[in-house]
Amino acid sequence: MNHIGSTAGFIAIVDDDEPLLEALCSVMKAAGFSTRTFASAEDFLEFGERQDAGCLILDVRLPGMSGIELQRRLSDDNSAVPIIFVTAHGDASLRESLMKAGAAGFMTKPVRSAALLKEVSAALSKSGTE
């Protein structure tokens, strides 16, 4: 399953936990995805090629702009990038509200690699970017 060079662009990962960011990046690269990592929502927004992201793996709680605020901002900008939220502080009501707001997925930390890859593949398939 090689996704490099596909129309999916790259997988953007936004998390302020550097070891987790590196681990998620490694999982995605091992599966053949091109990745870009960001330590904050603001870093992602400032990235000039963010519109080329095929999928966004996004932490809910971030310093500065939260993942939820980033989701709203992208929605306001009519971005179609599918978002998979990851959080250590999730519950059913948060999951429900984020999914209603358009999230493609919601996972609690620690994230299992196989489950994350399944979520990313489903998000890419659903958005037609795989």
Domains: count for the chain:
1
pLDDT tens digits for range 71-114: 999 999 999 999 999 999 888 999 999 999 999 999 999 999 99
Q: What is the pTM of this model?
A: 0.91
DSSP the chain: ---TTSTT-EEEEE-S-HHHHHHHHHHHHHTT--EEEESSHHHHHH-TTGGGEEEEEEES--SSS-HHHHHHHHHHTT----EEEEESS--HHHHHHHHHTT-SEEEESSPPHHHHHHHHHHHHHHHT--
Q: For the segment 9-53, what is each residue's pLDDT rounded down to a tens digit? A: 899 999 999 999 999 999 999 999 999 999 999 999 999 999 999
Q: Is residue 15 in some structural domain? A: yes
Residue 2 lies in a domain: no
CATH of the domain at 108: 3.40.50.2300
